[in-house]
Amino acid sequence: MAIKQALVHMSWITLTFLRFALADVLFFGYLTATRRLRPFPAKADLPYLTLLAFVGFTGYHLFLNLGESDASVTAGTAALIIASTPAFIAVLAASLLRERLQRFQVQGIALAFAGLGVMIFLARPESEFRFQASEGALAVIPSAVFSALYAVFGKRYLGRYPPVTLVAWTLLIGTALLLPLIAVTAPAFISDLQSMGVDGWVPVVFLAVFPTFLGYVIWFRALARLPAASAAAYIYASTLVAVLGGIAILGEPLTPATAVGGAMVIAGVLSAQRLRGR
């Protein structure tokens, strides 16, 4: 929802960088004030942390913002696509963390992926239930995959670094990875800064403080205590807020395809997770 509001005033590249830069200040200010800035990343960990930074921040947010820059992709549709992350986490956790998947879990994950297909190919308002792929919706899919990779790979490093420290360093590296893109698009970036005004800064500050600073800290604290697939259930809170906020505040439509596909995604993932706990 806030992403859509911000994109009215700036490009998806500018939004990604400004969100990261403000969140960096919050993270490192907090860690410095609480004397928890250390441990600094070990040199041997830097290549892996750079990969983690790309999938968890740079790649994830660039594709999400690119997808939402498409007028046919509502905030609710993007959030429902991201809600498929637990399905990707379950698949990756099974292959990388050796977390076992039962037959009914596989069926639930298949239902979630089928729901993704419904939203991608039928969610355009003008499609009238013809198979017409939404480029914006397709652009959001890598974000769900990257989010899953970040959760699965990041869990391995929670034994070495406290959750807030891990997020802070990977976010800083992720910001650095954006610098070449900012350099290439410097004229557009400077133009955005000159024209965005207060109406542009308000959603950027909101995104930096709540979904980034507070959201990632809560997410990794949960991930440190729960299995990767179980912790992912917390994604649904933000999904519900995005869908309802998009309808109530932005006046976005909830198309039948989005409603059906989103319901399939959430039902499939929830059923897989519930059966997992039995």
* Amino acid sitting at position 61: H
What long-range pairs does 46-49 form, CB within 8 A, spacing at least 24? 48/153, 48/157, 49/157, 49/169, 49/170, 49/173
Say what the pLDDT of residue 187 is. 97
* Residue 245 reports pLDDT greater than 90: no
Give the pLDDT confidence score for residue 206 in this predicted structure: 94
Domain boundaries, the chain: 2-276
**What is the model's pLDDT at position 274?**
58
Q: How much is the pLDDT for 228?
A: 55
Summary mean pLDDT of the chain? 82
Cβ atoms < 10 Å from Cβ of 35: 7
Tell me what pLDDT residue 157 has: 80
pLDDT the model gives residue 129: 42
User: How far apart (Å, rounded) are the C-alpha atoms in residues 225 and 221?
Assistant: 7
Lowest mean pLDDT among 172-186, 193-207, 253-267: 253-267
Average pLDDT over residues 192-221: 89
Query: At residue 239, does pLDDT exceed 90?
Result: no
Average pLDDT over residues 207-226: 77
Distances (CA, A) of 143 to 79, 103, 148, 149: 11, 26, 9, 10
214 or 205, greater pLDDT: 205
Instruction: Find the Cα–Cα–Cα–Cα dihedral 181, 187, 192, 194, rounded to 10°.
Output: 140
Cα–Cα distance for residue pair 181/66, rounded to 1 Å = 14
Q: What is the dihedral of CA 37, 59, 214, 248, to 10 degrees?
A: 170
Top-confidence range, 81-85, 139-143, 222-226, 233-237: 139-143
pLDDT at site 221: 67
Give me the torsion for CA of 74, 237, 247, 21, rounded to 10°.
Answer: -60
Model confidence pLDDT, tens digit, residues 110-158: 888 888 788 777 655 544 444 445 678 889 989 989 988 987 887 778 7
**How many Å apart are CA 216 and CA 148, to the nearest integer?**
14
Contact 72, 128 (CB under 8 A): no
Higher-confidence residue of 36 and 96: namely 36
pLDDT at 247 over 60: yes
What's the whole-number mean pLDDT along residues 90-94?
Answer: 79
What is the predicted pLDDT for the residue at 229? 53
Q: Are 215 and 238 in contact (CB under 8 A)?
A: yes
